Each structure stands twice: as structure tokens, then as C-alpha cells.
Structure 1
Amino acid sequence: MRRLRILITFLFLFVNLYSSIAKEGSSTEKKTTRELPPINFRNKADDLFMEQNYNDAIETYQLALEKEIPNKAPVLKKIALSYSALHKTQESLKYIEEYLHKEYNPNILADSGFDTIRETEAFDIIEKRYIPQINIWTFIYLYVALIGFYLTVIIHFNKKIDSVAKILISAFIFTHSIFIIHIFLFLTNYQFNFPNSYLISTGFSFLYGPLLYFYFKRITQQYTFKVKDLIHLIPTLLIFIYLIPKYLLPISEKLEILINEASGYTSENSTEFITIVVLKVISLLTYGVFIRKIYLKSQLDSNLSDENKIWKKNIYRIHFLYLICYCIYGFLSLNNISVGFFFNMQIFAMAMMILYLGYSANAQPDVFSGVLNAKNALFFKYQKSGLTDSLSKELKNNLIRLFDIDKIYKENHINLEMVATNLQTTRHNASQVINEHFNMNFNELINWYRIREAKEILDNNIAKKMNMIDIAYEVGYNNKVTFNKAFKKETLLTPSQYQKKIAPNS
């Protein structure tokens, strides 16, 4: 019995000891397992890359992409560099583009590690697709767009232009400028640096026609707007409603879309592009017909000055050039035909419009109100004028004395402000008196007096002792070219031709 107790006790102690050892072993094994450092694929791949073992480095980097850190851009760059070292151009470019999707930094393309594939055509395409670059043409586009924004402000706040007309023409110039600045960003690849420029000009696609149409209507017919005219803004309102969700996208998503589009339109964007082009062509053609009718009717109006008609004609011609170029561009785009020439021609037409309007704003700002150069006194510029009939006649007599006796027109730098000062009245009143009593504008009046004096010099044989340039200076011109042009406009002959014509009668 005693031996049995000893045996049971021994067995119990043995079981407890074995259990304790087993638990300790299991705990040690778990602890050892937990303390084993994980394999760092990124570091291992970097070591392989430094050893120029590029194939193994690529495999290890790809494992790192699958299992490690969320910031994958540096790893994608290393894979691209590894493929470049192996002279595998397409594979390298694939990972370059993946890198740019994750972290847009085109400076990656300047890395010397890509020198092995830099001279390839495929790499050159990628550089042109993503690296910002400005040439003389894109610089001109930027310059014209900035001029357009400047003109928008200047014209909009010019109190001498009809209030409705200036809103329409300034909005028209602003629309042009938005399109040109957007095209500049696209052509120079700066759109990737400014993702919020995504579709910035698309919302204005259907404003071009209505703005010019109603502007022509205002300056030729003194048209007063009605509530029903708002129907012309419905296409623009609808496209803005459609685009608002796209405008509100995060910058990262806009950048992703722009980079995707750099390689060609997706099916969704292709459909969107085709729809907008077709609708814009329809809009331009429709309003082109409306504008042409108004323009042709205005050219028959005998109450408008030649200067005014020429200005409208030039605006109409530039508009027509843009219309034709855009329609051809749209047709070629829809049929997947190269559009290079006509793409640039439509930009050229828009640039011409802005530059011509800029020139007009500087040289003859009154034309922006259109009817302000009418030959009769019944146009709306002076409807609210405070100039009485008696004061108007007095200013007229003083003006005649100023020109006939004082011959103020001989001043080289004469302007309306100078004449108004001499008449002791406002610039506005001086302009009104000239228009109402002489049926011409200020510049026409100055030229009429100068050419009359030049003809008197030629008729009296005084010219035999004077050169043509001396005659030009004598009557107030700064150069012979301007003198010849003004003389021919008045007499249909150049000064030399006129002199020869009168010579037999001398």
C-alpha cells in the first residue's frame, strides 16, 4: 500500500512537471515567433537595385507594392528605373505613367537613370505629353488672353459706352479669353499643375453666338431686352448644371482624369466631347445666320458712318473666320482626322478678335456703342444730354472760329480733350456738337480741315517750294503715310496724283 502511494505521488509530480515544461516551451516558441522581424521587401529591393541586379529588384519591388506601405510612388519610380536600366522602354514608360498617377511630378523624366531610353520615340512622346513647355505661339496665346481680361475690365467700366452694349461685348471678350487661356494650359501641359482648370471653358461653349448676336442687335437697332430673351441662355444654364458635379470633384480626381485624357479620351469623355462639339457647331451656325441678317441690314443704313460700318464688317469677318474654322475642326474631330491646322486656326481667329477689339478700344472707343457714330442727331447717345439748343449753337460757332481762324487742327497731338478745353466745355458736349452740326466724328472733322488746307497749298502752287512731307507737317500730320492715306480717302487721289492733275491748269 505504501509503495502504491509513492508511485501515485511520483506519477502526479511527473505529470505536473511535464505540463509546466510543455507550457514554457509553447510560450517560448510563441515569443520567438513574435520577435522574428518581418521581411522588408523595400529595403531588400533597394539593395538589389544598388547591386544592379535589376530583374530580382523588380520582382522584389512588386512584392513591396502588394504587401507594404500605401505610398507606392517611390517604388513605382524604382521599377521604372530598373526597366530603363534593362533597356525595356515600354515597361519603363508604363511605370512612369503609374508613378505620375500617384504623384504628379514630371521632373521624374529628367532623372539620369532614364538616359538609356531617352532618345527613343516613345520616351519623347511621354516628355511632350507631361513636361510643361512654352514656345512662341503658346506665349502669344497667353499674352492675348491677358489682353482680353484687361480689355474686359476696361470696357466694362467705361462710362462712355452704352451700358448694355458694354456688358455684352465685355462678356464676349471674357469668353474668348477663357477659351484661349484654357487652350494655353492644355498645349503647355500646365493643366496638370492647375487641375481646377478641368473643363473650365466648356461651360461657356454656347455663349459665343448669343453674346455677339445681341451685341449687334443692340448697336444697330437700339434693341431693348425682354424676359423672353433669357431663352437664349438655357443651353448655357443646362451645360453648367451638367458640369457642376465635375467642377466640385477633388483636385486629386481632376488630376487623375487629366492624366487619363492625356493618353486619349475614355469612352465616356469621347461621347461627352462629341456631344459638345456637335451642339456648339449647331449653335455657331444658327447664330451665324442671325448675325449675318443684322449685319447686312446695318450696312444699308445710311445713318451710320463709314467708320462704323467698316468696324462692324471687320468684327463680322473675324467671327465668320472663327465659325468656319471651328466647324471644320469639329467635323475632322468627329471623324478622327488630324485637326492640327484648324485647331490652331480657330485659336488664331479668337486671338484676332481680341487684338482687333483691343485696337478699337484704344483708337476709336466710341465704336463699341455702334450707333454713336451715326450721321443724324437722333441716336441714343445724347438722349439724356443736358446740352441746350442755344448752348449747342454757341459752341458750334466757337468751334468754327477755333478751326477757321485759330487753325487748331494743325496741332500734331490734337485730341477731343484739347478742343473741349478751348471751347470751355466738356468732352461729351464737344463730341455732341461735332456729331450734330457737322455730321461727322472728331477724327473725320480734323482730317477734313487738314486735307482742305493741303489742297489749298497744292492749288496755289506754293507746293513747288515744298516737299510732300513738308505739306504733311504744315497741315498737322506726323508722317507722310498718314497724310497720303487721309488725302486719298478724301479725294480718291494721292497728293502726288492730285498735284499732277492740277498741273496743266496752273
Structure 2
Amino acid sequence: MNFVTFNFHDVILLMTAILCCLFALLLIATNPPKNTSNYFLAAFLVAHACIPLHELILWGAEFKLHVREHVPGIYFIGGFAYYLDAVLLYFYVKSLVFRDFHLRPKDFLHLIPLGLFALFMIVAFYRYPASIRLDWINTEAFVYSGGYITAEFLSKTLRVVYCAAAFMLIFKYKDILKTTHSNIEKVDILWLKILVVGFVVITLMHEVLALAKVIGFIGGYDFQHPDPKGNIIEFIGLSGNYALFFLVCILVFTSMRYFSNFEAVRQKDSKEPPKKSTQEKLLNPEYAEKIDGIMRTQQTYLNPELTLDMLAETLAIPAKDLSMIINRHFNLNFYEFINGYRIEEAKKRLLEPANKDKTITDIYLEVGFNSKSVFNTFFKKLVGKTPSEYRQQPADVATTT
């Protein structure tokens, strides 16, 4: 063979697709039982693998010519992945955040844009005879038509929206976690933020490229004979391809390494009304006093790993009901509720003569905190003084605080 099928830019696209597929296979092969998030990530990777292949078929230096000659029927098939990958990324993040997340009938509404694109392709391309379609492929008339450029712009806009929604869910994650966990400092989701932000950046680059095509089409730019000295569209496209390759190599591998430690919470369903028994407890302050008495006698808050589910089991009450009672009677989320008891216990231990040789670090660890900064923040907020200031004041003054 004395011809070149791939140049270096094309190899990057091909390697990106191969890496995505390999990562997806590895995820499925090593997937723990009932781990839904693995399947969403694998599906996202497979869908995303179709995108560099699609770009390779459309714009590969020599490869596109071989496809046109031998298998023109696969043209545009990979373009459908633009309507799937960001949706699957959003579902992946949602399945990590909410342990009880599963696909519901309403979730399939996210496939409406995919169906509309399929309808557009049937009407604008596939309904024509094969000879006409082949001519449009060879002359690149269809990919530079107003309809296809518009559809491409809308698809890439949609990807940005879904990536932004996934990032917003991550941004709110720690606040959501406070409803079920008493300590959230050990939760490290930096890798997930980088993963999603990385894809936000890439989708934005693709969006800029699609917008440039729209502006060029409106302005009468000749896409089929661009200026070789300043083809900004080609530069943006290649930059996006390289950025995607490095992101897949580094960040997806990192996510597979760390996502097993992700702390998930239950997904709330605000439409479901409280049970009658729960409503009675919500209106009965004596029940709140009972919970407060159990907390003080059993001191369950001393467990640094205490969660809403664990406390609910101790109190023999459904976790959802307990969360509602805490919110209603104490006007706190679970995180604030538990750490309030820990601060009270810390105040006692700071003043006990038997603890005079103990450091403040010893005491905050004993009462259930695992972060000095969080302990100091809560202490200052609830007591009005730092732990050191509180410990140094006279005992008779401290008891009135």
C-alpha cells in the first residue's frame, strides 16, 4: 500500500474513539452488582466514541475518500451521538448523586431532540435516491447546507445545556449531602468537577465552531474553498479534538479510579404527600422532645460516620419521616442538627478538669468532627467564641454561655 489513510490529526480522533470504547468495556467487565452509574458512564463513553469517528468520516484527510468510495452508507450515522452523549453524562452524574436514581418514563423525553434530528435527516437527506445522496456527500453540499448547519448548531447548544445542568447538580451536591450526612468533609468530588468542566469546555469549543459555521453561512462564506492562510474553523475543530483526546486519557481514567468512593443520597420526591403518622409527628412537639432525649442519652452523634439512615434505624422511624421532623421542629438540616449536639458536647469537655491535658484537636475528634475548620466554624457560629477563647474564660462565665 503506497497511500496514506490517516494523518496525525486523524490518528488523534481514532485513538480517542478506541480509548473511549476500551474504558467502556473495562467498566462493564468490572462493574459491581447493581451499580447503575457504571452503565451510564459506559454508555456515555460509547456514545462519545461515535463522535470522533463521525468527525473522521466527514473530515479525515484521506480516510473520508475511502469511506465515500466503499461505505458511503455510514455517513452521518455517528452524528446521532451528539444528541446522546451529554444526556448520558447528565444521567451518570445524577446516578452518582442519588443512589435510588433509575430511568423513569419521563426521562425518555430527553430523547425528543434525537427523534427530531432523525426526522430531519429522513426528510432532508435519506428520502432522496442513493445517487443524489452520494453526490451530496462527494461535493460536501449537504454538510454545508443551511439545514444541516442549523441542526448541528442546535445539537451542540443542547450539549452545552446538559453539561451545565450536570455541573449545577455537582455544585449543589454538598448541600444535598447535608440532609443525610453529619460529616461531609471527607467527600472529594474534585475529579468529577474536573471531568464535567472539561466536557463543558469541549462542548463550548464545539458550540463556537458550530456558531462560526452559522455566521459564515449567513455571510456567504465559501466553506468548500476556505482561505488556507486563515481557516479559523479548522483551527477550532482541531483544538477541540486534541482537548478531547487529553481529557479522555486523563480524566476518565481518574474517574474510574475514584468514583467508587462517592457518597450518594436518596432522591427526594416532593410530590408524594406525608403519611398520616408522619403528619401527626410533625404537629406533635412531644415527639421532637423524645428524639432530643434519645440523642442526649444515647449520644449517637459521637459517631463521626453517622448518617440519616443510621439514626433513623436507631429511632425505628423511616429516614424520610425523620428528615421531615428535623426540618419542621428543629428548623435545621441533618448536618446542622447533629453538629449542634457535637458542639454542646465539646463545650462540656473543654471545661472538664479531667480534659485539661487534652488538645482541642483531641476533643473535636472525640465528639464526632473530622475537620478542624468545620469544628471552629460551627463553634464560633453557635457559641460566639472560638474554642480557644471559650476554654480560657473563667468556668462560671462559661456555664452561662
Scaled by the length of structure 1, the TM-score of the pair is: 0.43
Deviations 1:43-100 (A, max 9, x none): xxxxxxxxxxxxxxxxxxxxxxxxxxxxxxxxxxxxx3xxxxxxxxxxx126xx5xxx
2:374 counterpart (486, 489, 496): 486
1:423 counterpart (281, 305, 315): 315
Aligned residues: percent identity?
17
Match of 1:83 in 2: none
Conserved 8 A contact 2:301-2:368: yes
Match of 2:50 in 1: 182
Conserved 8 A contact 1:454-1:471: yes
Conserved 8 A contact 1:411-1:476: yes
CA distance in 1, matches of 2:287, 2:255: 37
Considering Cα pairs closer than 8 Å and 6+ residues apart, tell me whether 1 or 2 has the greater RCO: 2
Scaled by the length of structure 2, the TM-score of the pair is: 0.52
Deviation at 1:409, TM superposition (A): 1.2
Residues 1:152 and 1:199: Cα distance change in structure 2 (over 3 Å): farther
Match of 1:405 in 2: 297
2:79 counterpart (184, 202, 224): 202
Conserved 8 A contact 2:301-2:341: yes
How many pairs are equivalent? 307
CA distance in 1, matches of 2:200, 2:153: 13
CA distance in 2, matches of 1:153, 1:242: 36
Match of 1:383 in 2: 273
Conserved 8 A contact 1:182-1:197: no
Residues 1:240 and 1:306: Cα distance change in structure 2 (over 3 Å): same
CA distance in 2, matches of 1:345, 1:310: 35
Residues 1:174 and 1:205: Cα distance change in structure 2 (over 3 Å): farther
Deviation at 1:239, TM superposition (A): 0.8
When Rg is computed on C-alpha atoms for both structures, the one with the higher figure is 1
Give the AA of the match of 1:403: M
Deviations 1:170-201 (A, max 9, x none): 99x89855543435877999xx9xx9997666
Match of 2:155 in 1: 280
1:337 counterpart (235, 238, 241): 235
1:307 counterpart (171, 175, 190): 175
Q: Which ranges of structure 2 fall in alignment gaps of 5 or more residues?
A: 58-66, 95-105, 180-189, 214-232, 395-401
2:263 counterpart (328, 345, 363): 363
Conserved 8 A contact 2:278-2:321: no
Conserved 8 A contact 1:451-1:486: no
Residues 1:389 and 1:279: Cα distance change in structure 2 (over 3 Å): closer
Match of 2:350 in 1: 458
Conserved 8 A contact 1:398-1:423: no
**Matches for 1:129-148 after TM superposition, within 5 Å:** 142=24
Match of 2:217 in 1: none
CA distance in 1, matches of 2:22, 2:363: 40
Conserved 8 A contact 2:308-2:319: yes
Deviation at 1:407, TM superposition (A): 0.4
Q: Which ranges of structure 1 fall in alignment gaps of 5 or more residues?
A: 1-79, 81-91, 98-121, 156-169, 217-226, 258-263, 373-379
Match of 2:144 in 1: 271
The structure in which a higher percent of residues are helix is 1
Aligned-CA RMSD value: 6.2
Deviation at 1:488, TM superposition (A): 3.8
Deviation at 1:450, TM superposition (A): 1.9
Residues 1:338 and 1:323: Cα distance change in structure 2 (over 3 Å): closer
Give the AA of the match of 2:273: Q
Residues 1:174 and 1:457: Cα distance change in structure 2 (over 3 Å): same
Q: Find the residue that maps to 1:271 and give its secondary structure.
A: coil
**Matches for 1:42-61 after TM superposition, within 5 Å:** none
Q: Find the residue that maps to 1:363 and give its secondary structure.
A: coil
Match of 2:3 in 1: 93
Conserved 8 A contact 1:141-1:180: no
CA distance in 2, matches of 1:140, 1:310: 36
Deviations 1:209-267 (A, max 9, x none): 9x98xxx9xxxxxxxxxx9xx8x976432212245799x9xxxx9xxx9xxxxxx9972
Residues 1:144 and 1:418: Cα distance change in structure 2 (over 3 Å): same
Conserved 8 A contact 2:14-2:52: no
